[in-house]
Every structure is written in structure tokens, then in C-alpha cells.
Amino acid sequence: MKWNEHHTDKAVVTLDRVSKKFGQRVILNELSLALYEQENLVILGKSGAGKSVLIKCLVGLIRPDSGRITILGKDITQLSEEELNATRLQVGFSFQSSALYDSMTIFENLAFPIRRTNSIISESEIETRVNERLEEVGLLHTKDQLPSELSGGMKKRIGIARTLILNPKIMLYDEPTAGLDPETASDINDLILQVQKKHHTSSIIITHDLSCAHATGDRIIGLFDGYNKIEGDYETLKNNPPPELISFFNYAQN
Ligand SMILES: Nc1ncnc2c1ncn2[C@@H]1O[C@H](COP(=O)(O)OP(=O)(O)OP(=O)(O)O)[C@@H](O)[C@H]1O
Ligand SMILES: [Mg+2]
């Protein structure tokens, strides 16, 4: 799908002139953007550009100073704590660090979100769901292991499997390929595409890795100076790179 075809589609997330400062430092400066149904939207920006702050605003961990954020039609800045929690369940957040619980087995790490949100579900149903997700990321054989026994790439896959366990409509990936070798990073990119295809999720992928942006993004937004400065598909941006992206493309060629 070409990025400019999305504009007729339904937006599942919108940001409308969202601003956030820390002290005197402006991090997000009237940022507006939309995520359309079933697209993979990449947000590309340098380290410190405010990418993680943006994702934290989306999940309600940080409240913007001004502006509106809607998720699945609801203005999350206006919701009560209870309504916010209900909306959050529809949004899967895959952390920059995989954020697994070190003392729990892989199985228990995946079972945890189910147990926390559903007190009447049977053990066998939990097992079925966890096994299905582990199988999906190719790591069913690790279910009795501890996170410390797994490689960085495996932990990322487990993190993604755990994020999927509650069947979110929207997936947020914060730096999914950070710290991985190119081959493992490429496997994670493939997994992101596979998740979109299988679960029909709409995703925001936050990254400063151009090959991740290329592999996973239907559309790329460049976050610079706190706002949505650049927008397009990979080929368009590559053929005529805006000044902010030249260093990304030069680096990628080396
Ligand atoms: N809670 C906070 N209090 C004060 N400053 C913060 C806070 N969170 C983030 N910042 C600042 O906001 C800026 C943007 O941070 P953010 O973590 O969003 O960067 P990023 O784009 O995710 O970078 P990276 O690619 O390194 O992950 C940084 O200068 C950071 O120091
Ligand atoms: Mg970050």
C-alpha cells in the first residue's frame, strides 16, 4: 500500500498539536499525526528527539502539556483512570528494553498479563494462549527457561509475544532492533510484518534504524525539532532526502 493512499482510511490514533516540555526544554512541539488502520507507521528520529516521550504520551504514562490524543476514537487526555485502563488494553506496548520479569519463566512472563486482567480464565486456556504465542515467535521450546538464559534477539521476540497476548488492536514498538546484529534485526523486522499480517494490527514503530524503517514501514514520519517535519515512503525519501535525513542515508550505505 502506498502511504498517500492511507488518507482515505480510518485513523486509529491521532495526535493533534501535542506539546510537551521538560523545564524549558521543548520535546514535542505541536506535533500532529495519524496512524491509519492496519498500517505500519515508522517514526524516525535521532537519539533524544522525543520518540520515547511520544510513545509514553500515547499510553498515558506521560501527560502532554497541551494538545489532543485520540486512540480508537477516544480522547485519552479526557478519560477517567478506569476508561484509560480499558483503552490501554487495546494498545500493546513493546518496550525499548524487553522488560521481562527476570525471576519468572518465559511461560509465566506471558501468562502474567492474562492473569492480571482475567481472574476467571482456566489454567488450560492460559496454557493454550501462551503456547500459541510462543509458537508464533518460534520459541515454544524456551517456555521453562528464565529470561537470563536467552539471547537479546530471543528476549525481543518474547517481549513481542507478550505484548500480543491480550490481542491488542494497536502495537507500539520502541526501538525494536536496538542493540541487535543485522541478521537478528532483520528477523525482528520480519516478525513485525508477520504480526501485522496475522493480527491485522495497526502499528507505530519508533526507530533510528533506517533498515528497520525500510523493512517495516508503509509510511515514514521524521520527528525533528519536536514535530512531524518529514513524511513519505522510503523510496521517496531516499531519492530526494531532506537535509535531516542525509546522515541517516549516508550511514546506512557504509
Ligand atoms: N521524565 C523526564 N524528565 C525530564 N526529561 C526527560 C524525561 N523523559 C525524557 N526526557 C528528555 O526528553 C528528551 C527526549 O527523550 P526520549 O527518551 O524521548 O528520546 P528518544 O528519541 O527516545 O531517544 P533514543 O533514541 O535515545 O531512545 C531527552 O532529552 C530526555 O532527556
Ligand atoms: Mg527512546
Q: Does residue 55 register a pLDDT over 70?
A: yes
Q: How far is the CA of 98 from the centre of ligand 1 (A)?
A: 18
Sketch the domain layout of the chain as residue ranges. 3-90+170-253, 98-167
Q: Does residue 2 register a pLDDT over 90?
A: no
Atom of ligand 1 nearest to the CA of 49: 21
How far is 86 from 66, CA to CA, in rounded Å? 23
Q: How far is the CA of 120 from the centre of ligand 2 (A)?
A: 36
Q: How far is the CA of 174 from the centre of ligand 2 (A)?
A: 7
Instruction: Give domain 3-90+170-253's CATH architecture.
Output: 3-Layer(aba) Sandwich (3.40)
CA distances from 16 to 70, 77, 94, 211 (A): 9, 12, 24, 29
- Whether the pTM exceeds 0.85: the reply is yes
Are the C-beta atoms of 3 and 199 separated by less than 8 Å? no
Q: Which segments of 138-214 are extended strands (E)?
A: 170-174, 202-207
pLDDT averaged over the chain? Answer: 92
Q: Can you tell me the mean pLDDT for 129-146?
A: 97
Q: How far is the CA of 124 from the centre of ligand 1 (A)?
A: 42
Least distant ligand from the CA of 174: 2
Residue 254 is predicted with a pLDDT of 52
Residue 4 is predicted with a pLDDT of 52
Instruction: Among 4-13, 149-158, 209-218, name the one with the lowest average pLDDT.
Output: 4-13
For the stretch 14-41, pLDDT in tens is: 999 999 999 999 999 999 999 999 999 9
DSSP-derived pairing of the beta strands 91-94 and 40-44: unpaired
Nearest CA to ligand 1 atom 24: 47
Name the DSSP letter for residue 240: S
Residues within 6 Å of ligand 1 by CB: 22, 27, 45, 47-53, 175, 208
Least distant ligand from the CA of 57: 1
Which residues, at least 6 apart from 225, have a Cβ–Cβ distance to it below 8 Å? Answer: 29
How far is 206 from 226, CA to CA, in rounded Å? 14
